[in-house]
Structure 1
Amino acid sequence: MLDDHSQGLSFLRSDEHDAMLSFIDGNNEAVLALRRVYPEGFKSPVHLHRKTQLWFAHSGVVIVSTGDGRWMIPPGHGLIIPAGLQHSSEMISDVEMHSVYVHRDVINTDRPRVVEVTVLAENLIEELVQDDVRRSATRRRELVMELLMDEISQLPEKPLGLPFPSQPNIAALCRHFLSAPAANASIDDWAQTLGMSRRTFTRVFRAETGVSFVTWRQQACIFASLPRLANGESVTNVALDAGYENVSAFTTMFRRMLGSSPSAYLKSSGVRIVRHP
């Protein structure tokens, strides 16, 4: 177990993570809230929960992977993970996680969804985390849980999920793209690499991912940039490495997709974005 904030927080070890998974699935409470702190680079094995999970990144950046895609959770955001879905996670930086586990008959979803956690939801989660330490069963706790369930149902979804195709050859290109994103990657190049016509590729890609290639490419470029920005790399370097002509073009796309500039978006994590002349 972690110490309270007033006593300082310690990182979770792998053996403690395994014990935590057993505790979560063995707990019969309707709503369970936990706080954990993970070190940068920590990777959880593939696992699942019997309950629906809201994985809230209080600080730090996390990538959650499933067989169908990857989802990024920056500070101030959460991922709603369906009950029974196998997934793993990787900490891009030191992460303080607040998780809420709810029986699937209370909150159910057919797919993972990244959501922006409102101030109200954050405060309610914090109250439940503190209350679970005390394990009190009061009318106040019931009211907090009821209000949080209602608030979760209204949290705005954010485009931080990146669907992956099931076809191995297309998925391989997608994985390579994430390691070396290129904002100017062309449909024709991918189609030629796969031995498809342009028309066939666009049809298959949309059928496999649910989005157009251009939309996926834009999301993937931003997706790949967030871990580097969270690690303090300059916006200039990240933008140019991703194939944008200049920082302004990158910032415009970032703002269009996420609603704010890179520095404002990561401000809540305490990361200082470095800008070079």
Structure 2
Amino acid sequence: MRNISINQLDDTPRSVVAIGTDYSHGHLLPFHTHRRAQLLYGASGVMQVSTHDGNWVVPPQRAVWIPPGMAHEVLMLGVSTRSLYIEPGTVDLGGRCQVVSVSPLLRHLLMEAVEVPLNYDLAGRDGALINLLLHELKRSTPLPLHIPMPTEGKLLSLCQTFLNKPNAHQSPQQWSEQLHISLRTFNRLFRQQTGFSFRQWRQQACVVQALARLAAGEAVTRIALDFGYESPAAFSTMFRRVLGQAPSVWLEAAN
């Protein structure tokens, strides 16, 4: 099915409903929930997903798993999506959002799934396609594209400001001074709220925010300088440390 809301199809007597939707650049889906779990795959473009637990960037040809009932917001940057809406209990990728890899086989199955009839024959070819799709989905691996966020207060505000303008040189001392607390108290609070040390979080945030810009075609040099790195090489070294590959190699895998 194409360009139809899940709200019109939620009662379909099938465990999986597949919908393809094209979005204009900058289209925002405000916070909402689904009764079913959702696998949201971007065939093109970049998605920025937010929940109360954090932010995720979904580069082209990756997907995000959204558990049933989880409130989420999605900013679409030139995206053509393929979504699976899956009855709770059918497949379980965990109770939190996560960006997952999409194998070439899963990619083709997702593209084909939106073309099957709504009430597909469970015992026929289309039923077998959906079953294979679910098996392949279970083999997906999580990708480290999550930016955990504090739940509230001034620390949340500081994190949100940083995401709008990442700066690799910001220090925990600067943040502790803004919060009027000791450095030791700040470090303990930050880890309690995010699960990361400040420096780990800063690095993760820079990488994930950079991915959205890289996928949109921006140059590594421009991003590196904007984020405060001394050179593209310094940025690439940090990027490789987090994702295991240079920016150019990582993006090439999405094409």
Q: Which TM-score applies when normalising by structure 1?
A: 0.85
Structure-1 residue corresponding to 2:80: 96
Higher alpha-carbon deviation: 222-231 or 196-205? 222-231
Structure-1 residue corresponding to 2:237: 252
Distance 2:6 2:111 in 1: 20
Distance 2:210 2:167 in 1: 11
Distance 1:147 1:257 in 2: 32
Shift of 1:49: 0.6
Contact 1:59 1:268 in 2 (8 A): no
Query: In the TM superposition, what whole-angstrom CA distance separates every residue of 1:36-61 from its partner, at most 9, and x where no partner exists?
Result: 11111000121111111111111110
Structure-1 residue corresponding to 2:197: 212
- Unaligned 5+ segments in structure 2 are none
Query: In the TM superposition, what whole-angstrom CA distance separates every residue of 1:188-214 from its partner, at most 9, and x where no partner exists?
Result: 111111112112111111111122211
Structure-1 residue corresponding to 2:14: 29
Shift of 1:250: 0.9
Give the secondary structure class of the aligned counterpart of 1:25.
coil
In the alignment, residue 104 of structure 2 is paired with which amino acid?
V
Distance 2:56 2:226 in 1: 22
Query: In the TM superposition, what whole-angstrom CA distance separates every residue of 1:85-133 from its partner, at most 9, and x where no partner exists?
Result: 11111012x1110111111111232100111111121122222222247
Q: How does 1:25-104 map to 2 (within 5 A)?
A: 25-92=10-77, 94-104=78-88
4+ residue segments displaced more than 6 Å? none
Structure-1 residue corresponding to 2:228: 243
Structure-2 residue corresponding to 1:233: 218
Q: Alpha carbon RMSD of aligned pairs, Å?
A: 2.0
Higher alpha-carbon deviation: 201-210 or 23-32? 23-32
Structure-1 residue corresponding to 2:163: 178
Relative contact order (alpha carbons < 8 A, sep ≥ 6): 1 or 2 greater? 2
Distance 2:11 2:156 in 1: 36
Give the secondary structure class of the aligned counterpart of 1:245.
coil
Structure-2 residue corresponding to 1:115: 100
2:178 counterpart of 1:193: yes
**How much identity, in percent, do the aligned residues show?**
39
Q: Which TM-score applies when normalising by structure 2?
A: 0.91
Contact 1:60 1:269 in 2 (8 A): no
Shift of 1:159: 0.9
Contact 1:78 1:115 in 2 (8 A): yes
Structure-2 residue corresponding to 1:161: 146
- Unaligned 5+ segments in structure 1 are 3-11, 13-18, 271-277
Contact 1:230 1:266 in 2 (8 A): yes
Give the secondary structure class of the aligned counterpart of 1:111.
coil
In the alignment, residue 112 of structure 1 is paired with which amino acid?
C
